[in-house]
Amino acid sequence: MSATVSTAAGQSTAREQSHRRIERKYQRSRRSPLASLALHATLIAASVIAIFPIAWVALTSLKSGDRWAHPGDFSNLGFSNYSHVLGDTDFVTWLRNSVVISLGTMVLAVIVAATCGYAISRMRFPGYRATMWLLLVVQMFPVAVLIVPLYNLMSKLHLIDNAGGLILVYCTTAVPYCAWMLKGYFDTIPIEIDEAGRVDGLSPFGTFWRLILPLSRPGLGVVAFYSFLTAWAEVAFAVTFLQSSSNYTLAVGMRTWVSQYKGEWGLMTAASVLIAIPAGALFLLVQRNLVAGLTSGSAKG
């Protein structure tokens, strides 16, 4: 009887000690009212700083005429800038060209980067290390250094002022980074999956297409989003390689609204809001894979 009582007392004491430890840990983790106020104030300030430029551009786009020159005047806002951009300029043509070039860059970059990244991750071939170094070295060259040799090459191939030529140019910068990123993601996929595919009679390409790619959707989403934005927001290559107004992208076309003496800032801000819509829509489509791809790479890499 005494043994039972002592055992129960010991268990009760252990529970009390455990509760006290949890309570002390909870008390240590609780923030003081002053610390909580400082944290919330910092978060609010950071949110305002991040949102302010976007809100300012959106409000400026609603000012007609030269009222953008008066920052504090927000009366009589309207959509005249949007109607002028969509109806009286070549914005729709530039938008179509940008979408075609960006989607073409995304598809080609993902295909080439995925096959290249898988080959480097799984295969050991002559020139394996040289290929890895090449992917790293190519990313080190600034755009200004690449413009002249790429222009000479595209000129000899008769791809100047051509959407296909600009897609190839964008892939020269997107593919190396995307291939290196996918190589790291493919490294996180167990090689036993490839071996199981070969046992089932799949060819190397069949294993890659049927087994590896479905498991790599988060990584492919990250690469697709990056390659799309590479072409969507690029200016230097587009200005150099596009010469006729019918082939202009948004980045090149909007430059015509700014001269040495005047800038159509109402049209520029309205077009900026319209340009952000496709990029935002693409982000919403790949958001789940984008977050999963980034977190998976950081956790497994």
Query: Class of the 87-300 domain?
Result: mainly alpha
Per-residue confidence band for 299, with pLDDT thresholds at 50, 70 and 90: very low
Residues 172 and 150: beta-carbon distance below 8 Å? yes
* Residue 263, beta-bridge partner list: 258
- Measured between alpha carbons, how far is 166 from 168 in angstroms, rounded to an integer? 5
pTM: 0.76
Mean pLDDT, to the nearest integer, of 48-68? 83
Cα–Cα dist 238/98, whole Å? 10
Q: How far apart are the C-alpha atoms of 283 and 225, rounded to whole Å? A: 7
- Residue 204 — pLDDT band, cuts 50, 70, 90? confident
223 vs 69 pLDDT, higher one? 223
DSSP code string of 255-288:
GGGB-SS-B-HHHHHHHHHHHHHHHHHHHHHHHH
> What are the boundaries of each domain within the chain?
2-81, 87-300
Could you read off the pLDDT of 94-120 as tens digits, one per residue?
999 999 999 999 999 999 999 988 988
List, for residues 145-161, the tens digit of each pLDDT value: 889 899 999 999 999 99
Strand, helix or coil for residue 159? coil
Which helix (H) or strand (E) element contains residue 22? helix 2-29
Of 50, 85, 55, whose CA–CA distance to 265 is shortest? 85
Count other C-beta atoms under 10 Å from residue 186's C-beta: 23
